[in-house]
Amino acid sequence: MLYRGFVHKVGEHVDTDAIIPARFLVTSDPATLGKNCMAGIEPDWVKRVHPGDILVAGRNFGCGSSREHAPIAILGAGMPVVIAHSFARIFYRNAFNMGLPLFEIGDEVDAINDGDEIEIDTEKGLIRLLSANREIQCPPIPQSMIDILQKGGLVGYVKDRLLS
């Protein structure tokens, strides 16, 4: 998979309540959740996002409660992938289960700035900073996880396997 978009960068220790505040958890509809993505940081944050843009974060992104709504909100906002220094363990698992690919790149995240245009090649584990003419190598997504992502998440993957 290849992703290309502009960066929306957030800080460290962004918890799931900042990604999608509890008051919006009355639905699991991606479009509705997406309209309120990052409302815990800034109410109109998502209005700057265009489909295909890429979320970049600091350390421990997705900490806090284990709500599956957080990755759904990110996808619903039109951001198909997240790059971070590191992710909270439960968020990491939930994201892939919901069909949201993640890339953990450690301190290399400091080279990516808000507004940069980047391209991500999931098979090669390569992040190209088009604005800076630089590349960041990271572990590619394992094939087993790509299989889940290609089915839109774990539910789609399991349904497909049961019907095969």
The class that CATH gives domain 2-163 is: alpha beta
Distance CA 37, CA 17 (A): 10
| Cβ atoms within 10 Å of 17's Cβ, excluding its own | 17
pLDDT tier at 67 (50, 70, 90 boundaries)?
confident
Its pTM stands at 0.94
The per-residue pLDDT of the chain, averaged, comes to 95
**Helix (H) or strand (E) run with residue 56 in it:** strand 54-57
Q: Is residue 152 within 8 Å of 160, Cβ to Cβ?
A: no
pLDDT given at position 128: 97
* 3-state SS string for 27-64: CCCHHHHHCCCCCCCCCCHHHHCCCCCEEEECCCECEC
Predicted confidence (pLDDT) per residue in 29-44, tens digit: 999 999 999 999 999 9
pLDDT value, residue 122: 87
Question: What residue spans define the domains of the chain?
Answer: 2-163
Q: 112-146, pLDDT tens digit by residue?
A: 999 999 999 988 899 999 988 899 999 889 999 99
